[in-house]
Chain A
Amino acid sequence: MNVFTQVHQQPATLASPATSAERRKEAGLLSVHAASGHSAITNLSELPRFFEAGDVLVVNNAATIPASLSLTHVASGTPLELRLLTPREVLLGESEFSWHSWLAAAFSQGSWRQRTEERTQIPLLRVGDLFATEDPLVQLEITGFHNNEQRLPEVGFRAAEKSLRSFLFKHGRPIQYSYHKNDLELWDVQTPFATQPVATEAPSASFHLSWELMFALQERGVRIVPVTHATGVSSLGEPELDRLLPVPEFFAVGQEAREIIVEAQAINRQVIGLGTGAARAVESAFGGEAASSGSTSLLLSGTHRLRGLTGLLTGMHEMGSSHLRLLDAFVPRPWLLAGYEKAVAAGFLWHEFGDLCLISEKA
């Protein structure tokens, strides 16, 4: 039975993003025991009983920037949407997060209510072409193309640092999901941990978490540790381009976070990543070079041996997606799928605002 073809088809429309309180109330939790494969359905409010004193929950403190820009391609006079994907320096493997130069994806203007698959027709773009913005002080110039793909221009902002910042935060909009009925506002795409404005799409696994739940975990002696991963766009609507995702993304794991994780490892405690971004950050930082911040293109999969984490708390991942392959690093695929079948039966939701899955040695 292929239940997953049903579940990963998203509903045509979803009511406006629920308030965080509503989202939390409804969140389901699938727990999958990483060593035995035992799985069970419960509620997210039960999360603390999967933890004990000394365990660590690593959260992604990336805040989501308004990365969707409405622009006019000056040469053709065509309105376009550019979605910022990652800073060019990060794409080139450098360690600084800079705002001036970005890899972007171009979409025909249309409405974001249309699926991105229907918005792939864009005018011919050339290096040196300019995009005009709503702010006369801010222009963008095409400086190159990623992988020679027309739809993936590298753009440089022609603006002073200050006007660029204020332009982005004043005129940018959060990237939208076509299955939402209402516009997502900037506050809809922030998690309870949103601190560093570097993500272009929200680290969505954290949407359901609350500080009430964090305090309950802390009371059990669990340490909540922030790291940063600039979660990026997960789909561009064309399989050809989606093969290039994820592009290298910025990450940072501070000294204190590293020390807490090392301490937990030393006393054989769990280190659970909240979301795939937190997982990529920790696993990148605990790699061979042990860089504490920079650009990561690490892709977790069945062949990856975990170096920092012991488990993962994440959303429900679609079949065939690279996100699902990522879970192979944490649990054998058949055990995960057995759990997923239970989740389907329980009516779990499979999208950015959907339910959660905990894979751990104590699940």
Chain B
Amino acid sequence: MKNKGIVITGGSAGLGLALAKTFVENGNHVVITGRDPKKLEAAASGLLPADSNSGGSLHTIEADISQKASVYPTALEAQGVLGKVDLLINNASSLGKTPLPLLVDSDCEDLEQVLQTNVLGPFRLTKALLPGMLLRKSGLVVNMSSDAAVSAYPQWGHYGLSKAALDHLSRIWNEELRGKGVDFVAIDPGDMATALQFAAIPDRDPNELSDPEEVARALFRFLSARFQNRAENTRPQVRFSADAWRAQS
């Protein structure tokens, strides 16, 4: 994958930042979004030296993907900057309240906030960027999922159900737009040494966790192949566990 327009939400830290770096290094034009302008600035300045030879570029947009009023301007600005969006990676995620509470101890307002970030945000941004993809009959939308979407981990309730909804959203998008040139995948990247992971499990042994930069390089290979074959339309599998996509990358 080279010379593609790519939008990555939650791109100023963790896997999002690592993906942005990998795509830019491979000569792509990337917009990252994030809520914190300082982190975005730091991400942008950290990436600049690496991309100088690749022909890639990085752009930042300050946005809170959980807010409808933030999603639509972001979509327009990203399309203005990139010209076209080939790949959307809905990566921004909210864990909800930490320490993670039992559902019975949780508040519905917290659940609403998690759904806004993890389901409605990706839905809105996808919807706002789909017109260009459908008109060009070309695009790939990646929704970042989790094994918590499949396994009913106690205390991961809000996060887990939001990711299960995101998985199913990916399947339905895919069914409805089959044959239209736009492909959808939901991917569990596996457990990584990121802020989100340590917020959920503070005493997690870092040695058990993957390095997000390594995950990003492997995902780049997987997504490049998926993008290449997006028109083939023989894609019964939309959701990939960490083992499943790794086996193909």
Contact = CB atoms under 8 A, between A and B. Distances in A.
Interface of A: 59, 61, 63, 65-66, 165-166, 169-170, 185-187, 190-197, 211, 214-215, 224, 226
Given A195-B79, A196-B80, 9 more contacts: A166-B61, A166-B62, A169-B74, A170-B73, A186-B76, A187-B68, A192-B131, A195-B84, A211-B134
A89 B68 CA distance: 33
Interface in B58-107: 61-62, 68-69, 72-74, 76-77, 79-81, 84
Nearest to B135: A226
A61 B81 CA distance: 16
Contact of B128 (A166, A190, A214): A190
21 contacts: A59-B135, A61-B131, A61-B132, A61-B135, A66-B73, A166-B77, A169-B74, A170-B73, A185-B72, A186-B73, A187-B68, A187-B72, A191-B131, A192-B131, A194-B76, A195-B84, A195-B131, A195-B135, A196-B79, A197-B80, A214-B134
B180 interface: yes
A165 B131 contact: no
B135 A197 contact: no
Nearest to B69: A185
Contact of B79 (A63, A166, A224): A63
A30 to B, nearest CB: 26
Interface of B: 61-62, 68-69, 72-74, 76-77, 79-81, 84, 128, 131-132, 134-136, 180
Contacts, number: 54
Contacts of B128: 187, 190, 194
A169 B63 CA distance: 11
Which of B74, B131, B180 has the most chain A CB atoms inside 10 A of its CB?
Answer: B131
Contacts of A61: 131-132, 135
Contacts of A185: 69, 72
A254 to B, nearest CB: 10
What is the predominant secondary structure among interface residues of chain B facing chain A?
Answer: helix
Contacts of B74: 169
A138 to B, nearest CB: 15
B73 A194 contact: no
Contacts of B180: 215
A190 to B, nearest CB: 7
A169 B76 contact: yes
Given A186-B72, A190-B72, A165 B79 contact: no
A65 B80 CA distance: 10
Contact of A165 (B69, B72, B77): B77
Contacts of A197: 76-77, 79-80
A193 B135 contact: yes
Contacts of B68: 187
Nearest to B70: A170
Given A169-B73, A185-B69, A195 B132 contact: yes
A165 B135 contact: no
A197 B72 CA distance: 11
Given A166-B77, A215-B180, A193 B131 contact: yes
Which of B76, B84, B136, B180 has the most chain A CB atoms inside 10 A of its CB?
Answer: B76
Nearest to B60: A162
A267 to B, nearest CB: 21
Given A63-B79, A166-B62, A187-B68, A224 B73 contact: no
